[in-house]
């Protein structure tokens, strides 16, 4: 009986782990983790898709429930706030719809990031896999959800005929930045939350506060002369690099510059933390 | 490329962040008050492995024996690269499969087939190999009609068969196996043993953690007695088992017959 599948020896087949690591070794190991994690994009995609399918298995509309609930939320809040703030509906609803959809992506991503490693404890303790794989999984999962919610933005723009024009394509480089930032959040928050169990509630509080401070449901212009202060808010700057082009208005150079600066800080901090603690994560679970 | 395992001076310790020792409060407080800082530095640590040295080459069949909490499973995990050394070094050459968790990544809400596909992807198999894997596993686990139903509705026996079939369906160069693997109901065990023996015969290096003297004597040529994270004895299986158990060991009649059929 020769039925078993042979595991092919590959370059991954050599495992060389040593305790007395210098920063050079740590950097190499972290880089290898990220490279190998991303090279398994097919597995990442399959896992993310399964997450969505499992959540909505047996439901008639499946993930389009997300679209419907987001649509209902936008309609209700849009009308209420347009009345409260005395805003033009045709101007405000597309803005609010887009803001809520994009913010929803960020907020869900941050919440999932806190549980990246703790939720995959069983897997991490039974097979060696790049940690980046788990972070990439939640990024892709949330991108799939974003794609469903984005239908709301398209519907609103069609109904009110408020298309942003060609400038909207400039949201694509913004999305690329978001991908990098998302992966960093997964690795950084995942590791911090595995080690310090107080971090998730802190993060949850922070995100709630950021929702109100980041011009999601109100417009930056409403701040008047003090609009520049929004550049101090990393959440706002990052939101704006994708939202701005999609409502037909490029963000100011100040906001773009700040977004790049905050992202760069996040990249560096994530790299330092991840390279330092990567080998310890399995011990904390 | 031939396979090899080299473990040099390996120590592993688990920090115990029990109670609020793990919390941010303590970390912040400890930086402000001297007493807490001292407290923090003397944090409780469980030394799971202490200065373990092992060298395995193709053809080696090693048994890890020892009581509960002696560090057998931790050592398996360290050799699988799951826990990275706190001190020392672990080097493993060759494709590796570690069977430490009976339900490794099995998701009860997925169907049997989806679980098999997922495992195949974790192992880095291509599409064709995964199809072969599914056929092989389904045939052995006798899941015919259930293969496309969620694992959640399987009987316990079916889950055990699926898990076992999955775990034994790929042949690595280095196989690390925990003792849970040898538990199962008698009827199934006979068939399971045949499949397992087939697998073990095909691998270059076997490391098996087990309590069952029969299995150790029949399958392994060398044994290591782990005690409180240290290697207490290392040598031929019968000798080490005698030291560990405290009485002479003999293969049972049944095991003798089986091993007479051919060495592993």
Determine the Cα–Cα distance for residues B88 and B6; give it in Å rounded to an integer: 11
Domains and CATH numbers, chain B: 4-95+172-260 (3.40.50.300), 105-170 (no CATH)
Amino acid A152: pLDDT: 94
Question: How confident is residue A275, by pLDDT bands cut at 50, 70 and 90?
Answer: very high
User: Which residues contact residue A58 at a Cβ distance below 8 angstroms, ignoring those fewer than 6 apart?
Assistant: none
Is pLDDT above 70 for A247? yes
Determine the Cα–Cα distance for residues B9 and A233; give it in Å rounded to an integer: 50
Winning range, highest mean pLDDT, from A76-85, A113-122, A218-227, A258-267 = A258-267
Determine the Cα–Cα distance for residues A111 and A96; give it in Å rounded to an integer: 22
Residue A178's Cα: distance from chain center in Å?
7
- Of A82-91, A234-243, B28-37, B176-185, least confident by mean pLDDT is B28-37
Residue A19 lies in a domain: no
B82 and A128 in contact by Cβ < 8 A?
yes
- Is the model more confident about B85 or about A14? B85
Question: How confident is residue A105, by pLDDT bands cut at 50, 70 and 90?
Answer: very high
Determine contact, residues B171/A6, Cβ cutoff 8 Å. yes
Is pLDDT above 80 for B189? no
Comparing CB atoms, the residue among A18, A46, A195 nearest residue B85 is: A18
Is pLDDT above 80 for B39? no
Determine the Cα–Cα distance for residues B124 and B118; give it in Å rounded to an integer: 10
Residue A44 lies in a domain: yes
A60-A63-A67-A72 Cα dihedral, nearest 10 degrees: 60
- Helix (H) and strand (E) counts for chain B? 10, 10
Residue A31 lies in a domain: yes
**Could you report the per-residue pLDDT of A11-21, keeping only the tens digit for each?**
456 788 888 77
- Going by C-alpha positions, the residue among B21, B63, B101 that lies closest to residue B220 is B63
Amino acid B34: pLDDT: 44
Query: φ, ψ for residue B44 (rounded to 5)?
Result: -75, 130
SS (H, E, C) chain A: CCCCEECCCCHHHEEEEECCCCHHHHHHHHHHHHHHHHHCHHHHHHHHHHHHHHHCCCCCCCCHHHHHHHHHHHHHHHHHHHHHCCCCHHHHHHHHHHHHHHHHHHHHHHHHHHCCCCCCHHHHCCCCCCHHHHHHHHHHHHHHHHHHHHHHHHHHHHHHCCCCCHHHHHHHHHHHHHHHHHHHHHHHHHHHHHHCCCHHHHHHHHHHHHHHHCCCCCCHHHHHHHHHHHHHCHHHHHHHHHHHHHCCCCCCHHHHHHHHHHHHHHHHHHHHHHHHHHHHHHHHC
Residue A7 lies in a domain: no
Determine the Cα–Cα distance for residues A261 and A115; give it in Å rounded to an integer: 26
For strands B45-56 and B4-15, give the pairing.
Answer: antiparallel
Residue A20 lies in a domain: no
Question: How confident is residue B80, by pLDDT bands cut at 50, 70 and 90?
Answer: very high
Residue from B80, B96, B203 to probe the interface with A (highest A Cβ count within 10 Å): B96
Is pLDDT above 80 for B259? no
Question: How confident is residue B141, by pLDDT bands cut at 50, 70 and 90?
Answer: confident
Q: Which helix (H) or strand (E) holds B205?
A: strand B205-209
User: Which residues contact residue A92 at a Cβ distance below 8 angstroms, ignoring those fewer than 6 apart?
Assistant: A78, A81, A82, A85, A219
Q: Which residues of B are less than 8 Å from A14 in CB distance?
A: 91-93
Give the number of other Cβ atoms within 10 Å of residue A265's Cβ.
11
Residue A97 lies in a domain: yes
Comparing CB atoms, the residue among B14, B84, B198 nearest residue A1 is: B198
Compare all CA atoms of chain B with the CA of A8 and give the residue at the minimum distance.
B95
pTM of the predicted structure, to 2 decimals: 0.88
Amino acid B6: pLDDT: 94
Amino acid B37: pLDDT: 40
- Going by C-alpha positions, the residue among B85, B253, B251, B67 that lies closest to residue A282 is B85
Name the DSSP class of B227. E
Rounded to the nearest 10 degrees, what angle do helices A131-160 and A23-39 cross at?
Answer: 50
Evaluate the CA torsion angle B240, B243, B244, B250 in order and state its sign.
Answer: positive
Comparing CB atoms, the residue among B91, B104, B173 nearest residue A127 is: B104
Mean pLDDT calculated for residue range B174-184? 76
- Going by C-alpha positions, the residue among A136, A142, A162, A125 that lies closest to residue A281 is A125
Is pLDDT above 80 for B118? yes
Determine the Cα–Cα distance for residues B217 and B237; give it in Å rounded to an integer: 6
Q: How many CB pairs under 8 A join A and B?
A: 144
Determine contact, residues A144/A48, Cβ cutoff 8 Å. yes
- 3-class SS at B171? strand
Amino acid A1: pLDDT: 41
B202 and A4 in contact by Cβ < 8 A?
yes
Query: φ, ψ for residue B221 (rounded to 5)?
Result: -105, -10
Is pLDDT above 50 for A148? yes
For residue A235, give both structure tokens. 């959440």
Q: Which helix (H) or strand (E) holds B106?
A: none
Winning range, highest mean pLDDT, from A27-41, B150-164, B244-258 = A27-41
**Could you report the per-residue pLDDT of B86-104, keeping only the tens digit for each?**
899 999 999 888 888 766 6
Q: Which residues of B are less than 8 Å from A124 in CB distance?
A: 82
Q: Which residues of A are less than 8 Å from B95 in CB distance?
A: 7-10, 13
* Number of separate domains in chain A: 1
Radius of gyration of chain A from Cα atoms? 21
Residue A3 lies in a domain: no
Residue B100's Cα: distance from chain center in Å?
3
Structural domain boundaries enclosing A154: 25-52+61-284
Is pLDDT above 90 for A171? yes
Residue A12 lies in a domain: no
Taking the Cβ of residue A61 and every Cβ of chain B, the question of whether any pair is shorter than 8 Å is answered with no
Is pLDDT above 80 for A5? no
Mean pLDDT calculated for residue range B48-75? 91
Is pLDDT above 60 for A246? yes
Mean pLDDT calculated for residue range A18-43? 90
Residue from B11, B95, B111, B114 to probe the interface with A (highest A Cβ count within 10 Å): B95
Question: How confident is residue B234, by pLDDT bands cut at 50, 70 and 90?
Answer: very high
Compare all CA atoms of chain B with the CA of A18 and give the residue at the minimum distance.
B89
| Residue corresponding to tokens 């097919």 | A42
Amino acid B36: pLDDT: 43
Share of chain B above pLDDT 70, in %: 80
Mean pLDDT calculated for residue range B29-38? 47
Q: Which helix (H) or strand (E) holds B185?
A: none
Amino acid A257: pLDDT: 96
Amino acid A174: pLDDT: 96
Determine the Cα–Cα distance for residues A49 and A42; give it in Å rounded to an integer: 11
Average model confidence (pLDDT) across chain B: 81
Q: Which helix (H) or strand (E) holds B122?
A: helix B112-122
ipTM beyond 0.90? no
Q: How far is B124 from chain A (nearest CA, A)?
A: 8
Question: How confident is residue B41, by pLDDT bands cut at 50, 70 and 90?
Answer: low
B82 and A125 in contact by Cβ < 8 A?
yes
Is pLDDT above 70 for B23? no
Amino acid B182: pLDDT: 63
Is pLDDT above 50 for A209? yes
Amino acid A108: pLDDT: 95
Which residues, numbered 89 to 108 in chain A, qualify as contacts with chain B under a Cβ-Cβ cut-off of 8 Å? none
- 3-class SS at B200? helix
Determine the Cα–Cα distance for residues B205 and B174; give it in Å rounded to an integer: 5
B89 and A19 in contact by Cβ < 8 A?
yes
For residue B144, give both structure tokens. 């015919």
Compare all CA atoms of chain B with the CA of A131 and give the residue at the minimum distance.
B82
Is pLDDT above 70 for B254? no
């Amino acid at each position: 009986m020769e039925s078993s599948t042979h595991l092919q020896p590959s370059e991954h087949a050599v495992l060389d782990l040593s305790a007395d690591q210098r920063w050079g070794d740590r950097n190499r190991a972290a880089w290898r983790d990220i490279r190998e994690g991303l090279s398994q994009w097919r597995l990442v995609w399959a896992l993310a898709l399964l997450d969505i399918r499992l959540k909505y298995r047996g439901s008639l509309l499946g993930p389009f429930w997300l679209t419907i609930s987001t649509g209902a939320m936008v309609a209700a809040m849009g009308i209420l706030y347009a009345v409260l703030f005395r805003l033009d509906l045709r101007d405000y609803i597309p803005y609010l719809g887009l803001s809520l959809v994009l913010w929803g992506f960020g907020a869900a991503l941050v919440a999932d990031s806190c549980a990246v490693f703790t939720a995959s404890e069983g897997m991490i303790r039974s097979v060696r896999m790049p940690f980046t794989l788990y972070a990439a999984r939640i990024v892709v999962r949330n991108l799939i959800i974003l794609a469903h919610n984005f239908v709301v933005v398209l519907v609103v723009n069609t109904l009110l005929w408020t298309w942003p024009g060609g400038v909207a394509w400039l949201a694509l480089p913004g999305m690329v930045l978001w991908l990098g930032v998302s992966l960093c959040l997964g690795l950084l928050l995942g590791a911090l939350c595995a080690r310090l169990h107080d971090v998730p509630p802190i993060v949850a509080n922070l995100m709630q506060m950021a929702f109100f401070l980041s011009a999601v449901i109100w417009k930056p212009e409403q701040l008047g002369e003090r609009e520049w202060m929004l550049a101090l808010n990393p959440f706002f700057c990052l939101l704006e690099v994708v939202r701005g082009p999609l409502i037909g208005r490029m963000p100011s150079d100040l906001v773009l510059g700040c977004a790049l600066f905050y992202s760069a800080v996040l990249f560096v901090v994530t790299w330092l933390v991840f390279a330092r603690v990567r080998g310890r994560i399995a011990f904390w679970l | 490329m031939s396979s090899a395992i080299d473990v040099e001076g390996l120590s592993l310790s688990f920090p115990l962040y029990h109670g609020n020792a793990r919390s941010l409060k303590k970390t912040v407080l400890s930086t402000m008050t001297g007493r807490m800082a001292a407290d923090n530095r003397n944090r409780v640590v469980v030394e799971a492995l202490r200065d373990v040295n092992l060298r395995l080459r193709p053809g080696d069949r090693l048994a890890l024996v020892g009581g509960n909490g002696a560090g057998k499973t931790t050592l398996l995990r360290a050799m699988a690269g799951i826990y990275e050394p706190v001190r020392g070094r672990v080097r493993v050459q060759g494709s590796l499969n570690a069977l430490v968790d009976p339900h490794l990544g099995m998701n009860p809400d997925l169907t049997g087939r989806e679980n098999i596909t997922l495992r195949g992807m974790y192992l880095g198999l291509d599409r064709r190999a995964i199809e072969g894997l599914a056929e092989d596993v389904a045939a052995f686990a006798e899941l015919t009609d259930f293969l496309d139903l969620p694992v959640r509705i399987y009987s316990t026996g079916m889950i055990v068969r699926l898990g076992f079939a999955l775990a034994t369906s790929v042949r690595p160069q280095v196989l690390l196996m925990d003792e849970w693997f040898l538990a199962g109901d008698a009827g199934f065990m006979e068939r399971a043993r045949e499949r397992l023996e087939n697998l073990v015969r095909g691998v270059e290096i076997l490391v098996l953690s087990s309590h069952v003297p029969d299995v150790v004597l029949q399958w392994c040529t060398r044994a290591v007695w782990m005690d409180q994270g240290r290697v207490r004895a290392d040598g031929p299986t019968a000798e080490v088992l005698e030291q560990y158990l405290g009485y002479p060991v003999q293969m049972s009649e049944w095991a003798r017959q089986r091993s007479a059929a051919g060495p592993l």
